[in-house]
Chain A
């Protein structure tokens, strides 16, 4: 397909709390991706950085920061920020440059050194910022929104807190098999139930941590990959970076209210579902073609919503899919075989890139003990604050 680009290299810096600069993590991940691709940094024609906001500047200009750290060599530079979706936007920008013929070899890097505790908005008195307002007026942290979704699922679909705990159990088990994961030990449902409640009904072990980490990809044109001697590379077939449609009828962080549907009927699918639908449509595949998925499990309950939004099951059937073992390693459609955010913790600008690293290794058959057998197509899904969709389809 003419819209394909090749993933020649994938690399990560392990997630954790390492106490060093995000630049160091990103540079290590970039070098790992270049080594994986068998390419020299000087062959990179364009570098795209996914920005962190916690590097000292709002929207720290990551593209140039990584280009400098790797050694200035004159490559075209792009820096993008879309909160949790920054990585997908970086991949999208790289793909557009490759498909437009502006560059054959593009390096995509995202890295973060995250603070401890709740994410909080920048300081000052800023009542024009919805993110500032939700903290000032309501004290509505990110886990508060995850709690709202979880409670809503319990009321609507009959999900239980044990279902949520089982998501953690599943993802922790996968994480034990991933050398890049921060948490590499199994977790029992009893341990989840014994952890402190953060935002009713969710407990500490239902909610993902914030981590240091970095991920990088070397993306090229299909022609370049062939010339380089890679005849059957993992290919990115779709990058969905859609926005919601008006009226947005599901309450989402950082908003204090939804849009009103008084005058316009909402779309039949939620924003989250529309992110995946756009990716499937662009890729020309459907949920039935997917071998695995990497989704943004900011909370355990949210992973179940993604099952439905990705079309892996019908509305309200997420918990059943989990209980059936369908989404565990060895199941029909493993979800988060990497271990997910439950095992990694969130390193915001790196996370969507890390999802594609996992697809790459799985589709190559190089995922070791967590390998999804016969993986042919994978999808990632994620969502950035303020309305940034993020979904990537990769195939082999």
Chain B
């Protein structure tokens, strides 16, 4: 008998729970100076030239361009969760430049993408993903996925 796992974001409030094309990373924007923060700042604006405004939740751009990328050929230490009984499967990390926000956001690439598939400047989009699963919970995250070239 199986039981359904609860889908829980690995960090609360960092991305929407919308499936598919509506998925977005969530940051905050200062209503006084328009600086954007990710991970979100909810208490204070960190712009030293800003007298401080309300911080409002804002979805980040879905698409950006690869600033750089690398991979993890060895199992990272805890608190990264992986099964030591299972052979380590390298994953790719992508740093993505978002034009509108003028910032770079790191994330794992969707499974199946290797470093050889990527290039600096390539367009990618954010998609929902699964970080790991345990007995009761599917821990969700964001992934970067190369945008298919239109046929």
* Bound form: Cα–Cα A257–B107 in Å: 9
* Bound form: Cα–Cα A251–B98 in Å: 13
* Bound form: Cα–Cα A20–B79 in Å: 27
The answer to whether A138 touches B34, judged by C-beta atoms less than 8 angstroms apart, is: no
A199 at the interface (CB under 8 A from B): yes
Contact status of A263 and B35, CB under 8 A, knowing A135-B77, A138-B106, A246-B48: yes
The answer to whether A262 touches B34, judged by C-beta atoms less than 8 angstroms apart, is: yes
The answer to whether A257 touches B106, judged by C-beta atoms less than 8 angstroms apart, is: yes
Contact status of A259 and B103, CB under 8 A, knowing A135-B77, A139-B72, A140-B93: yes
User: Which residues of B114-133 have CB atoms within 8 Å of chain A's CB atoms?
Assistant: 115, 119-121, 131
B23 at the interface (CB under 8 A from A): no
Chain A residue at minimum C-beta to C-beta distance from B48: A246
The answer to whether A200 touches B39, judged by C-beta atoms less than 8 angstroms apart, is: no
Shortest CB distance B137–A (Å):
13
Contact status of A263 and B34, CB under 8 A, knowing A139-B91, A256-B105: yes
* Bound form: Cα–Cα A256–B47 in Å: 18
Which of A156, A200, A249 has the most C-beta atoms of chain B within 10 angstroms of its own C-beta?
A200
Shortest CB distance A111–B (Å):
23
Chain B residue at minimum C-beta to C-beta distance from A153: B68
The answer to whether B95 touches A148, judged by C-beta atoms less than 8 angstroms apart, is: yes
- Chief secondary structure at chain B's binding surface: loop
A-B residue pair count with CB separations less than 8 angstroms: 150
Contact status of A260 and B80, CB under 8 A, knowing A149-B68, A251-B104, A251-B106: no
The answer to whether B72 touches A199, judged by C-beta atoms less than 8 angstroms apart, is: yes
Chain A residue at minimum C-beta to C-beta distance from B34: A263
User: Which residues of B16-51 have CB atoms within 8 Å of chain A's CB atoms?
Assistant: 30, 33-39, 46-49
* Bound form: Cα–Cα A142–B121 in Å: 23
Which of these, B68, B76, B131, contacts A141 with CB under 8 Å?
A: B76
* Bound form: Cα–Cα A151–B36 in Å: 27
Spell out A's residues near B (CB within 8 Å).
117-118, 120-121, 123, 125, 127, 130, 132-141, 144, 147-152, 155-156, 196-202, 246-247, 249, 251, 255-264
Spell out B's residues near A (CB within 8 Å).
10-11, 30, 33-39, 46-49, 67-74, 76-82, 91, 93, 95, 100-108, 115, 119-121, 131, 141
The 7 closest A-B CB pairs, nearest first, are A147-B70, A155-B120, A120-B77, A139-B76, A261-B102, A139-B80, A152-B68
